Amino acid sequence: MRLLMLGALRAHTGNGTTARRIQDHLEAAGHSCTLVDISSCKSPLAVSNLIPSENFEAALGIHLYKAGRLLQGNGIPFGIIFGGTDINEDAKCEEKAKVMGRVLEEARFAVSFTESMKEAAAVYWPRARNKIYVQAQGIVTTCNASFNWKRFLQSEGILQDSSSLRLFLLICGLRRVKDPLYLVDAFAEWHREEPSTHLIIIGPAVDPLFAEEVKEKIKRADGVHLLQEISQEDLHALVKKCFAIVNSSISEGMSATILEAMDLNVPVMARNIPGNAAIITHKTTGLLYSNPQEFVQLSKSLIGDPFLHKEIVMKAKEYVTKHHSWEHERKAYQNLVLMLQ
């Protein structure tokens, strides 16, 4: 089949990474799968014109509202993959919820990353329950073996002996739902007490206005650094060098960054929200915090307890290997797309 995959597909973002991985799964089964960013399709009419011009036979949308509303009513069979903000945030808006309900009525199937997300969707749209399939994200990690760690530290003005550093890495697109400023004040205060601790925030400026706000705030924050996006292989190499990966989002579907860190044997410290709690068991496969002060407290505990650090890394690796198999995800999507024939 000639498939259209529609979503917010900017490079180095969760949706973009997910889309390219699913594209690979489907093309391995012999389908043609073209990725199209929703930014180039401002209306359902634009998608309606695109479909015949490219001879698309079916479609997949990532995000029930953003992509689904553009696919609805175009007469092409399609499936929908839930994001995070669609179920966790957009569904709270009555008008958006109505649109998403109509999208689900028309979709052949929908994919939820977690059982809890499926149940949340079923509360809003109970008639759609039987067409929602649960498929966790599969994970593949690749590292750049030539990544120059010391040069990286120097370029960011982190000139300490690298052996004494404790680097915490927050990977996210700069937009409000990711809340990258949530920990900045508390971390800066901790850095002044313990100069070996640094927080690095890295990711694209998804919301340019908000990105400027982040830059201005971080200029005045001791021990906090802001980096532009880098390649996936360099990013994974950077993750492996860090003490812990941080998530501070207000809302998440299923964070690929968290799963990748688990696969790379790096502890995860994540904000205690449903999407994160669905994949992290506190003090077993990671650490969940509810406020910035608790984040600092748990960070100190992790630094001071090598056994806890080792156990979390080991249990997280076991979890991600068992529950987030790339091969299982491939088989699932190859089977689901047959429903679009």
- Look at residue 131 in the predicted model and tell me its pLDDT: 96
Confidence band, pLDDT 50/70/90 cuts, at residue 163: low
- Asked if 233 and 196 sit in the same domain, the reply is yes
Residue numbers of the domain that contains 285:
149-323
User: Is residue 134 one of the residues assigned to a domain?
Assistant: yes
Residues 100 and 222 in one domain: no
pLDDT band at residue 153 using 50, 70 and 90 as cut-offs: confident
Please check whether residues 133 and 186 belong to one and the same domain.
no
The pLDDT assigned to 224 comes to 95
Strand partners of residue 32: 2
Across the range 124-149, mean pLDDT stands at 89
Is there a single domain that holds both residue 66 and residue 208?
Answer: no
Is residue 250 domain-shared with residue 220, that is, in the same domain? yes
108 and 220 fall within a common domain: no
Distance between CA atoms of residues 256 and 243, nearest Å: 18
Q: Evaluate whether 182 touches 248 at the Cβ level (below 8 Å).
A: yes
**Count of domains for the chain:** 2
Note whether 235 and 168 are same-domain residues.
yes
Same domain? 334 vs 316:
no
Q: Are 38 and 66 in contact (CB under 8 A)?
A: yes
CB-based contact 241:151 (threshold 8 Å): no
Q: What is the CATH number of the domain that holds 226?
A: 3.40.50.2000
Q: Which two tokens stand for residue 78?
A: 């399609």
Give the residue with greater pLDDT, 181 vs 143: 181
* Residue 103, domain member (yes or no): yes
Q: Is the residue at 143 inside a domain?
A: no
| Residue 109 domain flag | yes
Report yes or no on 144 lying in a domain.
no
Q: Are 280 and 286 in contact (CB under 8 A)?
A: yes
- Are 128 and 186 within one domain? no
Are residues 194 and 57 part of one domain? no
Strand (E) or helix (H) holding 209: helix 208-219
Q: Share the mean pLDDT of the chain.
A: 91
Q: For residue 259, give Cα distances in angstroms to 237, 281, 324.
A: 15, 13, 8
Residue 149: pLDDT above 90? Answer: no
More confident residue, 272 or 229: 272
Phi (first) and psi of residue 203, to 5 degrees: 160, 170
- 210 falls within a domain: yes
Give yes or no for residue 150 having a pLDDT over 90: no
Q: 289-312: per-residue pLDDT in tens?
A: 999 999 999 999 999 999 999 999
- pLDDT tens for 59-83 read 999 999 999 999 998 889 999 999 8
Q: What is the pLDDT of residues 314-334, one digit of tens each?
A: 999 999 999 999 999 999 999
Would you place residue 181 in the very low, low, confident or very high pLDDT band (cuts 50, 70, 90)? Answer: very high
Domain check: are 283 and 182 in the same one?
A: yes
% pLDDT > 70, the chain? 96
Q: Are residues 270 and 335 in the same domain?
A: no
pLDDT at 253: 81
Average pLDDT (254-282) is: 94
